[in-house]
Structure 1
Amino acid sequence: MDKELWQLNLARYDELVAQCVDFKRLGKTMPYTSTNGYMFSLLNKDAELGIRFSKDVQESYMQEFNTTYYRSYGAVMKGYILIPEALFSTPDRIVELLKESHAYVMSLEPK
């Protein structure tokens, strides 16, 4: 793990989540967001951001962003896509994605 990249992306993630009034960043060693009993974004040990979407939206965004499913600790995270590093140059877009993901999990039956 690149510690500098980890610190940079953690700071970015915190700044992005701070712009969303409906939820907060949780987790000390594995930063994530959760609501309605569902985790919907997280930063893995490799400093990669994953965001959860419905199946249809996942496929659309994977094509749009030329990305793949998100992996954390070697496992594919069902429902999550990997947010490409290049997308961090458009933080407003990531905030939109976080809010969209939050709305998606709010539409699910609470756990």
Structure 2
Amino acid sequence: MWEEKLKYFDKLVDQCDRFERKGKKMIYTSANGYMFALLNKAGEIGFRLPKPVATKFMEEHNTGPYYSYGAKMKDYVLVPESLYDNEKLLVDFLNQSYDFVMSLPKK
């Protein structure tokens, strides 16, 4: 099951030409010194978004904050599996997540 989620995460990332997936055990994307998308050991995907976008995402898609290794990840939302059929939407949010970390001061 986790392997299927990894393939799906990679499929989303492969549709974005400005970044690539990193990690072997901890799967993530990063830019500008910040991680912005994660696949946790439970096979859940999280995107880092600006607060107003994250709030709207959670309300519209009936989801909540994202947790990885038991910790609530700041500015991250849990991507519900109900959206997995809408790759175009998720790729758009993944790109928004990249744009968000690129707008932050470089680490």
Coarse TM-score class (shorter-chain normalised): over 0.9
Q: How many equivalent pairs are there?
A: 107
Unaligned residue ranges in structure 1 (runs of 5+): none
Q: Which residue of 2 aligns with 1:18?
A: 14
Q: Which residue of 2 aligns with 1:48?
A: 44
Pick from 60, 74, 98 the counterpart of residue 70 of structure 2: 74
Q: Which residue of 1 aligns with 2:94?
A: 98
TM-aligned CA deviation for residue 86 of structure 1: 1.0
Deviations 1:71-91 (A, max 9, x none): 011110011000001111111
- Superposed structure 1 runs of 4+ greater than 6 Å apart: none
Q: Give the Cα–Cα distance (whole angstroms) in 1 for the partners of residues 105 and 73 of structure 2.
A: 19
Tell whether 2:58 aligns with 1:62: yes
TM-aligned CA deviation for residue 27 of structure 1: 0.4
TM-aligned CA deviation for residue 92 of structure 1: 1.1
Q: 1:23 is paired with a residue of what secondary structure?
A: coil
Q: 2:104 is paired with a residue of what secondary structure?
A: coil
Aligned-pair identity in percent equals 50
Indicate the RMSD between aligned Cα atoms, in angstroms.
Answer: 0.6
Deviations 1:16-44 (A, max 9, x none): 10110000000000110000000000000
- Give TM-score, length-normalised by structure 1: 0.94
Matching residue's letter, 2:9: Y
Unaligned residue ranges in structure 2 (runs of 5+): none
